[in-house]
Structure 1
Amino acid sequence: MATPRRIFDIENAETADSLGTTAYQLLTAIVVPRPIAWISTVSSDGVGNLAPHSFFTVSCANPAIVQFTSVGRKDTLRNIEQTGEFTISLAPEHLLDQVNDSSAPYDADVDEAQALAIAMEPSEKVAPPRVAASPASIECRLHSVVELGDSWLVLGTVCAITVHESALDGTHPRFDALQPLSRLGRNEWGRPPTVIAVDRPQAPPEGD
């Protein structure tokens, strides 16, 4: 017997009240866990900005391109449009409070890293600095911005990646050393999960 399912008709719902929720609330609870891009930018006036974004992933392998989505026009997006550069610092578990605090709605003339006493250090190739205590960073130059309804998809061409030496096994970043946080639904966060290694099959499985 099939398990009963509730259907949320996103396409035909006239209001959130008619659904009892929103597509955003459903998607952020289902598309999980989401890695966090802790993005550093600098405005054209030289004011730093540091904010977490959880709509984040790799877009292209070659050339290396990553993407994040700004829901609404936020300081991060405006700064990137002005300067064409941004740095993503991995958000590790031990910095949960700082990551969360940097999501507060600070004014555009306030540097979150300074306000929250988050130590930053120079990046290798772009002006926005990286979080010093983050074990890995991705430096990007703006590829393109795509407007999608109430959100903006930002694609960045990767120009440098840095990883703490202590977090590497040869050239491979170790998950147990990175300890990445993730976002779930509501006010829920994910801690680093258990890792298993499973090799991809080189051919379709043979039948019995």
Structure 2
Amino acid sequence: MTDDSSETEPVEIDVGEVEGSIYRILSSVVIPRPIAWISTTDGDGVDNLAPYSFSTVASVDPPIVLFAPVDDEKDSPTNASETGEFVFNLVTEDVVEEMNETAATLPADESEFDHVGVERAPSTTVEPPRVAAAKAAFECTLHETIDVGGSVLVFGEVQHVHLAPDLLGDDGKIDVANVDAVGRLAGSMYATTQERFGLERPP
């Protein structure tokens, strides 16, 4: 009889003994992660556009969203901190290729909008443009930033919302079945929201 207990026992990892970071573990297990496609404008008027998969909703009242780079200070948090404004654009299947292209490292004086050919649309309450093709966009003013390890968490208070009509149901509210958002997994892998199911919350 063979002992296959090793196949059922969990792998134990003491984080304090790991050389380097456990980024791959975190990014492979905390999935899928929503992607914040962040547009900002620097002090010289250059529009920046970059995706961040460390992002989420932080508060409902007031409405606060957040995004964070990993291990490095990027243009988006720098611009948001200096100007106090950014736009959180939704990534859906129809713009995922363009989103990926804007992850390229460019000189600070070169805009990802122009480099990739992403069409801008004017915002209503903030200076940075939104992505014209984004089905939802949150115009935000900077709420605060918090340094956490090698990252900086950027919190933005939502001031204005843009929604594509095809996200709405017959009642005029967002129908989640119409939101074909893309989530980040690990490495070069992504996920869609095609497969969905419902569960009634217990009382």
- Same fold by TM (over 0.5)? yes
CA RMSD of aligned residues (A): 1.5
Q: Does 1:33 align with 2:59?
A: no
Once residues 36 and 129 of structure 1 are traced to their aligned partners in structure 2, the CA distance between those partners, rounded to angstroms, is 18
For 1:93, the equivalent position in structure 2 comes to 93
Question: 1:177 is matched by which residue type in structure 2?
Answer: N
1:4 to 1, 5, 9: 9
Are 1:175 and 2:176 an aligned pair?
yes
Counterpart of 2:17, as a letter, is A
Given residue 179 of structure 1, which amino acid in structure 2 is its aligned partner? Answer: D
Secondary structure in 1 matching 2:57: strand
How far apart, in 2, do the equivalents of 1:148 and 1:154 lie? 11
**How many corresponding residue pairs?**
196
Cα distance in 2 for partners of 1:83, 1:45 equals 11
SS at match of 1:44: coil
Tell me how far apart the structure 2 counterparts of residues 96 and 13 of structure 1 sit (CA, whole Å).
37
- Percent sequence identity is 35
Partners of 2:144 and 2:117 in 1: CA distance = 32
Letter in 2 for 1:81: S
Distance 1:134 1:176 in 2: 17
C-alpha separation in 2, matches of 1:28 and 1:119: 30
Q: Structure 1 stretches of 5 or more lacking a match?
A: 17-21, 203-208
In structure 2, list runs of 5 or more residues that go unmatched: none
SS of 2:17's partner is coil
Question: Who is 2:200 aligned against?
Answer: 199
Instruction: Note the C-alpha offset of 1:14.
Output: 5.1
Aligned amino acid, residue 156 of structure 2: G
After alignment, is 182-191 or 23-32 more displaced? Answer: 182-191
Aligned to 1:13: 17
TM-score normalised to the size of structure 1?
0.89
How far apart, in 2, do the equivalents of 1:81 and 1:168 lie? 33
Q: In structure 2, what is the equivalent of residue 146 of structure 1? A: 146
After superposition, where does 1:125-136 map in structure 2 within 5 Å? Answer: 125-136=125-136
How much has 1:197 moved relative to structure 2? 2.5
Instruction: Indicate the SS of the match to 2:194.
Output: coil
- Match of 1:76, SS state, is helix
